[in-house]
Amino acid sequence: MTEGTPRVAERISTGIPGLDTVLHGGLRKARTYMLLGLPGSGKTIFANQVCFHHASRHGGRVLYLTLLAESHTELVGNLSSLSFFDPTLLPNAITYLSAFTVLEQGGLDALAELIRKETKNHQATLLVLDGLVAAEEVAPSQQAIKKFIHGLQVVTGLMGCTTLILTTGRGQGLRAEHTMVDGLLLLKQRMFGARAVRELFVRKFRGSPYLLGKHSFDITQDGLVVYPRLEVLAESGPPPGPPLEAKCALGIPGLDTMLSGGVPQGSTTILLGPPGSGKTLLGLNFLAEGARRGERVHYFAFYDSPERMVAQAAGIGLDLKPLIDRGDFEVSFRPPTENLLDKLGVQLLDVIRTHGVRRLFLDGYDALRRAAIRMPRVSRFLAALVNECRMRGVTLLYSVEAAAAFGPEVAFPMKGISMVAENVLFLRQAELDSELRRFVTVLKLRNSPHDVALRELRISSNGMEVTGTFTDVESMMTGLPRTTARSEPRHPGGGHQGT
C-alpha cells in the first residue's frame, strides 16, 4: 500500500460480489495479478467469472489461454451450469486457446511469442494464463521463469491488457517469482474438524489500499461470493457528537420504569438469561414498540422461523403481522447450521446501512459464536458491530444464553463485556413456593439512573409485565432462593435507585 487509490476509470470490476470491496474497486487496468491456490480452491471459477463479467458488462475482449491438458470442451461444460456463463460471448468476446503443445514443443520462448501474438490479434483487454505450474516444470531454471513473467508483464502492460495468472504453486507455498507481479491473491480451503471453510487472502496489491486479513468466500450457483470481514468494514471512529440522551422504550410496563424510560438510543444491550427466561419475547417487544413509533426495526433470528416467531408473539397478545405487512418490522432467519461469521457480518451491515433500521435485535449470540471458526475473534466481531450501530444511532439488543438455569454461580459466557455492550439485563427463573417465578434485574445501564431491584417478570396471554420485588427472600440470583414465608410482589417504585 504505497500509493493512493487510483481513479475509478483505471479499475476493472471483477464481478465477484465482495471482492471489489476487498480490492477498493477492483483490479487495476494493465497490471498483472497472480491467483494462487491448490486444486479445488476455486481458481478456475474465479477467473472465468471475471472474464464473463468483463466481456458482458464492460464490452471487454478476453483471451483465456490454458497450459493444462484439460480440453476446452470439458472446461466450458463444467462452467455451463453457473449463472454467469453466457455461450453467446463465445468465441468472439471470449476466446479459449490451448498453449499446451506450444509450451511442450517450444518451451517458454515459444509460449511468450504466442501470448504476444494472440493478445494482439484478439485485441484482448483481459488475459488469463491458466496453469503456470506447467511452464515452471519446463523452465530450465528459476531465473528463466522469472524472466518469462517479467516479459509477460511488460508486453501486456504496453498493450493495456490486464493479466491474471493462475497457479497451484506446486503445493510448495510462495516463491520469489510469485512476488514479481502487481498483486497476489491466495485462495485456500481449510478444515476445522469436519467443517471446510474457504478463505481469500490478498498478500500483495501494488499501488492501492486493500482490506487486510482473511476473508471467507462461498462457491455458489452464481460463482464466487466473497464476504469481507466485518472488523475491517465497520466504522472505526468515535461516535459523532456527544452521547444521545433519547431513550428507546422497550414497551413493557414496569421495565421501562426500571430503566428510567428505556435504554439509551444508539446503545447496545445484552439480554442474559437461561432458556425460557423470556429473552426472545422481551426483544420482540422492544422491536414492536419501535415499529409502533414509526421506526424501522429488524429481527435477526437463528432459532425461530418468521412463522414461528409471529405465532409465539401472538401467544402473549403481541400482534406483529400488521407491523410486518406495513414494512416497518423486518424479519430475517438463518438456521443455526454451518453459518459463516463473515457472511453474517455482511448481512448485518446490509441491514444497518441500506435498510435504515433504528432498532436491531440479534437473537442468538450462541449461534454467532458457533459460526466463528476462531473463537477469540467473536468479541472483536461484536465490538465492530457495536461501534457500527453506535456511529449510526442504531439501538442494538442481542440475547445471550446463560450457561446454567439454576445454581449458585452466574457466569458470563463471554469476556470483555464493556467492549461489546453498554447495558446488561439479567433474566432468570427461580423456584419459589413450589413454582417457577421469572425475574429481571438491571446489571448495568451506562450513564443513566436505573432501578437495581430484582423484580418479577410476568408473561401471560396479555403480554409481558414487570411487577414488584420479592419479600422475605434472598439468593434469588442463584435461582435457588431461600424464604421463610410465601412472598408477595410489591408494586414498582419500591426498589432502590442506582446509576
Convert the pLDDT of each residue in 139-188 to its tens digit.
999 899 999 999 999 999 999 999 999 999 876 766 777 778 999 999 99
Of residues 368 and 6, more confidently modeled? 368
The residue with cell 509477460 is 152
Q: What is the pLDDT of residue 484?
A: 58
Contact between 246 and 398 (Cβ < 8 Å) = no
Average pLDDT over residues 94-123: 95
Higher pLDDT, residue 345 or 77: 345
Contact 19, 226 (CB under 8 A): yes
CA 382 to each of CA 154, 201, 268, 416, 445: distance values in angstroms, whole numbers, following the listed order:
46, 22, 10, 11, 18
CB 311 within 8 A of CB 319: no
Q: In the prediction, which pLDDT does 498 show?
A: 39
Give the span between the Cα atoms of 334 and 357, in whole angstroms: 19
Instruction: Count other Cβ atoms within 10 Å, centred on residue 455.
Output: 27
Using the predicted structure, report yes or no on whether residue 319 has a pLDDT greater than 50: yes
- Give tens-digit pLDDT for 324-349: 999 999 999 998 888 999 999 999 99
Q: Where in the chain is the domain with CATH 3.40.50.300?
A: 11-228, 247-483
Asked whether 448 and 260 are in contact (CB, 8 A), the reply is: yes
Partners of 165 in beta bridges: 34, 129
Alpha helices (runs of H) in 377-490, residue ranges in sequence order: 377-391, 417-420
Give the dihedral sign, CA 225/226/229/234.
Answer: negative
Mean pLDDT, to the nearest integer, of 389-412?
Answer: 83
Q: Which homologous superfamily does the CATH classification assign to the domain defined by 11-228?
A: P-loop containing nucleotide triphosphate hydrolases (3.40.50.300)
The residues pairing with 424 across neighbouring beta strands, listed in sequence order, are 270, 444
pTM of the model: 0.86
Distances (CA, A) of 104 to 65, 135, 138, 166: 14, 9, 8, 18
CATH fold label, 247-483? Rossmann fold (3.40.50)
- Residue 494: which pLDDT band, with cuts at 50, 70 and 90? very low
Per-residue pLDDT at 1 exceeds 70: no
Using a pLDDT cut of 90, give the percent of the chain over it: 72
Q: Which three cell numbers stand for residue 139?
A: 523452465
